[in-house]
Structure 1
């Protein structure tokens, strides 16, 4: 039985036997789903529970604080964290434990029904949306999925936003963004801008290459305004060499092995993965010589928008 310990947060996460851990699982799930969210108890507890793989988070006194499960259909569910423990890494640890369990079982894919309020959380862990939103137990949900140890296809605009959130959200200190004109419809979306702002305020640096510096300036792209407020975090350069301007693709990569590549830079369709350092390094190697040849976007520093 594997145990994940986070001393700085004073909790543990472990895989548990369903019957033995049932009182602890019930304490968390009833508190979160039944009492807090108003889910009927008969919907919360189902016939799949005894067949699932369960993980449980406990504080250092052994009291339950979070749960999650894997169903036989390779679906993550019943992710719950008690209110006092939210925002302290418990949800991340639970999800990582479930992903590790799936890998141990030899599973190659995972899916889940995310509450819309938790959409960004799952996107940060490499899950991409598919299908329309729906209501389950009176709560708006979005289906999401992730291939484990494989490339994930990005086929829609919503999936593109999720892919960006995953790459930005898992970056440590550096991002490399190769864009045509600051990707209107992607890099100007509220969730993406918020993720970039968080990254920047945590001392991250985003290197951004543009094929067309005039178009985003004329469109008052919000990322330009963000770069003016945080100039040391957003470094923008414009591509001028004809050989570099002929490059058709666009991409974002980070320093933890995450990347999202679009063969056609004006389209959202492409591929993404949050855990492939070799491919991320390859894209960085494409980026760096072009960066050296490009000119700084000095006109952005004084633009009033």
Structure 2
């Protein structure tokens, strides 16, 4: 069992037996899925339920506020949090509990069907989208997967965006980005910009190394404008040494063990993981010598600064 204290109050998350916990599971799931989202009761409860691992979140008074399950097919599902408790870390705690359950079973990977509105949430926890979106119970969904004991392959543009969101979203105070020209299609995405802005306003610092300073400027890259509004949070340097410019790769890494590495910097395919500090430190150690030899990027300073 894990306990958390939030502005909303204290809550706990623990595994629960299906039969004894059914009334509490039913209260949460039917409130969220049946009453709020219009899912038919006949679709909400299935033959898998008795065979699943279930977790339950309870408030300080012992009332149920959230649920989730892990199926025999290694899938996370039925993640639900009552409306009054959303935004207070309950969903995150439920997800961590289910991932811990999967690890305790010795599973190598897990997957889930994320509602389209929750893709960013799962991306911040290391899940990458697979395949096209689809409808389930009348709601748009996306299959997402996470390997538990190795790097996750990034094989599509959507997966690349999710990988970047995972690295940004799990950073504590420091984020390092090595990008050839601010990666059009990645670092200019609205969801990525929102994540970077949120990280900066929490007091985070992002160091960005570039090989091409003019192309992002000509394209009016939104990250430049954001850095001009928050100049202490975003630091740019430009690589000019010939030997350094020959470096073919690109990557993002953070101070919490998250990283996304692309062997060829002009492509988005690569590998990522949010919980491997040794590899993240290795990439930071690649970044730092480049940073020391690079020049400050005065081109991006706002007028009057």
| Fold shared by both chains (TM-score > 0.5) | yes
Which residue is 2:191 aligned to? 191
Which residue is 2:4 aligned to? 6
Question: TM-score, with normalisation over the residues of structure 2?
Answer: 0.98
1:129-159 CA distance string (max 9 Å, x none): 0010000000000000000021100000000
Which residue is 1:176 aligned to? 176
Q: How does 1:221-300 map to 2 (within 5 A)?
A: 221-300=221-300
Which residue is 2:97 aligned to? 97
Offset of residue 299 of structure 1: 1.3
Rounded to whole Å, the distance in 2 between the matches of 1:279 and 1:303 is 39
Rounded to whole Å, the distance in 1 between the matches of 2:48 and 2:151 is 30
DSSP 3-state at the match of 2:132: coil
Which residue is 2:42 aligned to? 42
RMSD between aligned alpha carbons? Answer: 0.9
Which residue is 2:79 aligned to? 79
DSSP 3-state at the match of 1:62: coil
Structure 1 ranges of 4+ moved more than 6 A: none
Rounded to whole Å, the distance in 2 between the matches of 1:276 and 1:146 is 14
Unaligned runs of 5+ in 2: none
Unaligned runs of 5+ in 1: none
DSSP 3-state at the match of 2:131: coil
Offset of residue 303 of structure 1: 6.2
Which residue is 1:139 aligned to? 139
DSSP 3-state at the match of 1:61: coil
Rounded to whole Å, the distance in 2 between the matches of 1:71 and 1:302 is 53
DSSP 3-state at the match of 1:252: strand
Which residue is 1:60 aligned to? 60
1:151-188 CA distance string (max 9 Å, x none): 10000000000000000000000000000000011100
Question: TM-score, with normalisation over the residues of structure 1?
Answer: 0.98
* CA contact 1:149–1:275 (8 Å) conserved in 2: no
* CA contact 1:253–1:284 (8 Å) conserved in 2: yes
* CA contact 1:51–1:72 (8 Å) conserved in 2: yes
Rounded to whole Å, the distance in 2 between the matches of 1:55 and 1:296 is 50
Which residue is 1:163 aligned to? 163
